[in-house]
Structure 1
């Protein structure tokens, strides 16, 4: 066999492999869908749109935010687990969808570990304890006294598992009695709080900020032990007579189970670069959030730890059904 013929045969044998590689689409090859479990106008919606804009710019494809609110994130999560694991469908999950729901919802319909690929944590989110300004209380101690003087008469709004558990922990620690009113999201609950149909609630800082400035809502304290850079004057509840009180929610980026390692790594690197930028940190601070990036391995361990933690949180709050 001549050298020329041998080279031709080798080249011919390699053609199927070259063709197969050429047929593998690069990521992303089309717009990316970012599914969220909160309604338009919510703080998480604003976070998702900021993140989507930055991801789209870095990836060279638009990122379209798709809102599927309701059922504490179950609807959105179930949507994502059936998507093709090619990186074109992502989920901005939270402590609700990936930790709390394990204990708060029967027949969840998905496994937060087995059915998802962790990409990166995105934020840590403390909440504010706020009251309608017409309620005759100006401090946490006065709220507790007022609630005990009117047992079962006060009501509060919940728009997600975070606001629900944070309020339940407050009730459990103080012994007050109040009625929960459930909403599909925080904006709807906030509307009723401002209108006076609710007395107090635990809420995202940005959602409530305009009404605090207008004097319609009064802030009593912060659920996290550390103060927010955007609201340094608001003291943690742990410093206001509720020793040991702590609640923080979080958000993170996930793909469906089976997301290839190279796509996972690429997305994680883009998210980490985005969150480490001064512009994103400043923007998230204005939303009342703390930018918190992590690689897929650390984020996966964090989610597992959160599932264990939420067993305690939900049971201490008297909410666990599983």
Structure 2
């Protein structure tokens, strides 16, 4: 699968920029268990990435990596947990487009600054979303869903597992000229459960979290929100085939530490995660679940994050989303 074109910052340059004494202090790092804090429940794409990278990091360092799921509160609970911990490199925030970019567009006053409060480590993955409906839904195609939404503005409901999914729905509303109302949930797994049971009409789902549900018949996929079909769901049309060309909606995952974390420990973690990203088995792992690796160092991640924040601000403004 084609990788996303990022300029790679080498680990040697990252470490070389640090004073020799500080580098020496990081040589024994990590010397105890590391905690990965995830703002969503188990089963989400962010959780899947955290557990994969955590397992590989344990294999590389011999130190356990504990994944802690802190869902709810639009990601605020997890963020505050990380920022309240000692900034020593042993607490890592594994966040997504929602917590690291989209929240800026949805809230007037965030209890954190996703750029100033964190130091980026590395990108992890990107995956297209899938538009799913209940298996018993009368909507067999995306065109069916759009036609029903146009006929009954505001009646259909979207299950939003995060702020990111909410804005994806708003972007669809704007692009298709419809009004599907968002119903917030604590995480993607809860939103998908609501769709499967028919509690809500439709949802955007991370392909990594929804593929098995789709294959087992618990969800019906209308389209992959991308410009090409996904290898994990080859029979599902992409947006152009489904009648809405030019629309795309992706989720991405990246790792960060509190900004006050010493540069030596930050660079060591970034180096280790970059090594995991480059493993052939990492590429294979993500390809199997319909995602792709995102290789990029701290500088690339910081620029990418800034671009994403600007993008979702534009979408929120265009869709007249009222900030909370």
TM-score normalised by the chain length of structure 1: 0.87
Please state how far the C-alpha of 1:120 moved relative to its aligned partner: 0.4
CA contact (8 A) 1:238 1:246 kept: no
For residues 160-194 of structure 1, the C-alpha deviation after alignment (integer angstroms, 9 at most, x for no partner) is 12221111111112122323221101111111211
CA contact (8 A) 1:271 1:293 kept: no
Partner of 2:316: 314
Partner of 1:52: 54
User: Which is higher, the Rg of structure 1 or of structure 2?
Assistant: 1
Please state how far the C-alpha of 1:50 moved relative to its aligned partner: 1.0
Any runs of at least 4 consecutive aligned residues in structure 1 with deviations exceeding 3 A, and if so which? Answer: 20-25
Query: SS of the counterpart of 1:212?
Result: helix
Partner of 2:196: 194
> What is the correspondence of 1:1-322 to structure 2 with a 5 Å cutoff?
26-321=28-323
Two-structure CA RMSD over aligned residues (Å): 2.3
Structure 1: gaps spanning 5 or more residues: 1-19
For residues 5-28 of structure 1, the C-alpha deviation after alignment (integer angstroms, 9 at most, x for no partner) is xxxxxxxxxxxxxxx999988311
CA distance in 2, matches of 1:235, 1:256: 41
Query: SS of the counterpart of 2:252?
Result: strand
Size of the aligned set, in residue pairs, is 303
Structure 2: gaps spanning 5 or more residues: 1-21
Query: SS of the counterpart of 2:237?
Result: coil
TM-score normalised by the chain length of structure 2: 0.86
Residue 56 to residue 173, structure 1, CA distance change in 2 (3 Å): same
Partner of 2:7: none
Residue 192 to residue 24, structure 1, CA distance change in 2 (3 Å): closer
